[in-house]
Structure 1
Amino acid sequence: MTFADEPAPMVELTLAIAALQRADPLFALWRRRTLSTLPRSAGPLLELVPATAKGPLFLDPLSLGFDDGLDQVLSSPIPFVRTELRRVHAAGRRPVPWTRLLADRDREAWQILEHAVRAAQACVLAPAWDRIRAGFDAERAWRVQLLAAQGIRTTLAGLVPGARWHGTTLEFDSTDEVEFTLNGHGITLLPSVFWTGRPLVGRHAQGVFLVYPAVTPLPLLDDPTANALATLLGRTRATILERLTRPRTTTDLARDLGVAKSSVSEHTKALRDAHLITAQRDGKTVWHSCTPLGLGLLTGTPDTTRR
């Protein structure tokens, strides 16, 4: 089992498109705001991706960057495209003429798809990417701490309510009867700030992946009351704490914040004294990272590693 290093832009984009069609009260305000600014050219994605997020898998490769992900989408093998479109249409997603043409590698149809993806990314993902990344980093760091403290079985069973182990099989409540056998291969965990439903499991060229809801969804990351952390710690220290969901050096922090290393050292000392971060020396370099207490403060979750 591994955690993805970064959010996958194409996966987050398809989950965001699904969220725009889902009657989730938590996303109601975000949905109204986003739909009011969504360009018409992005509309075709709403015809491909349903509210369940179970759209064609060629739309959401596990890429580390948007451009790379879009290239993978546009170069999808036609047999894979046809198989996925048949699956989506068989599940009740009514095909429209341009989606039928995707299976024939029709140039105009693929241009429609490319323009739709680019327009949706610019409207939905790009303005929120810093918050998406912050939520992903905090979630990943907290789960890694939990994994180290309580082990893989507890960590996986705690991803969503109702998850449970039956022998060596991890079970989730679902409306689908689907079983994945790893056969010695690993699984990649991919938290999403857009998804609030049951885990989604899929198989890509990179292997099996599992999408699950991050502890803090996007609307809460976007909440103006999130500035309470800056009120409590001070803006600079709050920013440092947010950056330390991944280990960073004093030099990294000074460069990111545009302040002197001596100033960073003062702030990190205060955060260490409050048991919110730790420091480890590697030669002449000092690496700083969040403690479980610091992560709990960022995510609003209890420190489950403390006894």
Structure 2
Amino acid sequence: MVELTLAIAVLQRPDPLFTLWRRRTLHTLPRSVGPLLELVPATAKGPLFLDPLSLGFDDGLDQVLSAPTPFVRTELRRVHAAGHRPAPWTRLLADRDREAWKILEHAVRAANTDVLARSWDRIRAGFDAERAWRVQLLAAQGIRATLAGLAPGARWQGTTLEFDSTDNVEITLDGHGITLLPSVFWTGRPLVGRYAEGTFLVYPATTPLPLLDDPSANALATLLGGTRATILEQLTRPRTTTDLARQLDLAKSSVSEHTGALRAAHLTTAHRDGKSVWHTCTPLGLGLLTGSTSTTKRWLPQRN
């Protein structure tokens, strides 16, 4: 349900990575999904009763339809106070108007069918790859470095983890922990949701949906995307940007973009020699290629 509402938000966001996906999805989107576009803003900060944590779609929809009225009213007020003005019919949800809730149910069902279900195998493969990647980082670097690596600019100030945000919000866990929810749709700043079950942090998965290959592809391609996985495999020995562009039949600008992403993930390094930029795998990148973690542990800096 979280991915469903994030997908609805992405349909309204000018994210270049999702331009083609957004165009294709909107072209075939049934009118019955329209009410969700009115209720969930592009910021994805819609009412929390729309995306409960669930074991599956049917369970999630049941929770949406049975959300306690005080919770529904509180969340609608919060969304209104944030400056997003949903359509007038959404105000009827707070009054438990039967017709309004039928509209919402049809919208959620249609969105699941036409937005989420078609890509669910890829979404699940991306989630599994993300979880495997974070577990590897956790084993090699520890919890502090793993959490700080969830988003660009994240940093620790003592025992407080800070993320860049347009909102000034402080969340105190009081020893109850936090659940991480990677999203293949969301590419913005991390989002925090406070549910009865606890606090949840939604963050961008390493590989967003448009870059996810068919789940039958190898795990490395699922994690990084086919082109980046191929580039990483080529960098078991040093190669220049020109070499990679020629061998893979890509523009140099495209190669630079992919190698930049691999370098940001500490999978490759680069150094300039005259007019040429040479790229090569780091021990972490080699460990990912070979499935070995021994070199990874030696290369990664130690964190307290």
Contact 1:58 1:84 in 2 (8 A): yes
1:130 aligns with 2:125: no
> Is 2:68 aligned against 1:63?
no
Q: TM-score, with normalisation over the residues of structure 2?
A: 0.72
Describe the superposition over 1:245-288 as per-residue Cα deviations: whole angstroms up to 9, x where unpaired.
xxxxxxxxxxxxxxxxxxxxxxxxxxxxxxxxxxxxxxxxxxxx
Indicate the residue corresponding to 1:110 in structure 2. 101
Pick the aligned partner of 1:47 from 34, 38, 44.
Answer: 38
Q: Measure how far apart 1:306 and its partner are.
A: 5.7
TM-score (norm 1): 0.72
Deviation per CA, 1:154-183, whole angstroms, max 9, x where unpaired?
A: 000000110000000000000001111000
Aligned to 1:236: none
Report how many residues are paired: 233
Do structure 1's residue 206 and structure 2's residue 206 form an aligned pair?
A: no
SS at match of 2:189: coil
Q: Is the 8 A contact 2:73 2:94 kept in 1?
A: yes
**Paired residue for 1:19?**
10
Matched residue type, 2:163: F
**Residue 29 of structure 2 is aligned to residue 35 of structure 1:** no
Q: Which amino acid aligns with 1:105?
A: R
8 Å Cα contact 1:141/1:295 also seen in 2: no
2:209 equivalent to 1:218: yes
Residues 109 and 24 from structure 1, CA distance in 2 versus in 1: closer, same or farther, beyond 3 angstroms? same
Question: 1:304 & 1:217 partners in 2: Cα distance?
Answer: 25
Name stretches of at least 5 consecutive residues in structure 1 with no aligned partner: 1-9, 231-291
| Residue type of the alignment partner of 1:144 | V
Q: Find the residue that maps to 1:47 and give its secondary structure.
A: helix
Is the Cα contact below 8 Å between 2:129 and 2:219 reproduced in 1?
Answer: no
Aligned to 1:284: none
Whether the 8 Å contact between 2:122 and 2:214 is mirrored in structure 1 is no
Amino acid at match of 2:49: F
State the secondary structure of the residue aligned to 2:84: coil
| Paired amino acid for 2:70 | P
With over 3 angstroms needed to count, the CA separation of the structure-2 counterparts of 1:227 and 1:25, relative to structure 1, is farther
Counterpart in the other structure of 2:226: none
Counterpart position of 2:162: 171
For structure 2, the residue ranges without an aligned partner over 5 or more in a row are: 222-283, 300-304
Partner secondary structure for residue 209 of structure 1: strand
User: How far is the alpha carbon of 1:146 from its aligned partner?
Assistant: 0.7
CA–CA separation in structure 2 for the residues paired with 1:228 and 1:132: 13
Asked if structure 1 preserves the Cα contact closer than 8 Å seen for 2:287 and 2:296, the reply is no
Deviation at 1:296, TM superposition (A): 4.0
| Segments of 4+ moved more than 6 angstroms | 226-230, 292-295
Q: RMSD of aligned C-alpha atoms?
A: 2.4
Match of 2:111 in 1: 120
Letter in 2 for 1:66: F
Residues 109 and 305 of structure 1, relative CA distance in 2, 3 Å threshold: farther
Letter aligned with residue 67 of structure 2 = S
Deviation at 1:293, TM superposition (A): 6.4
Amino acid at match of 1:90: A
User: Aligned residues: percent identity?
Assistant: 85
Q: Tell me how far apart the structure 1 counterparts of residues 49 and 206 of structure 2 sit (CA, whole Å).
A: 27
| Residues 193, 296 of structure 1: alpha-carbon distance in 2 compared, 3 angstrom cutoff | farther
Q: Any idea what the Cα deviations from partners look like across 1:80-138, whole Å, max 9, x if unmatched?
A: 10010011111111132210100000000000000000000000110100000000000
How far apart are the structure 2 equivalents of 1:183 and 1:221?
37
1:43-78 per-position Cα deviation (integer Å, ceiling 9, x unaligned):
100001011100000000111200000000000001
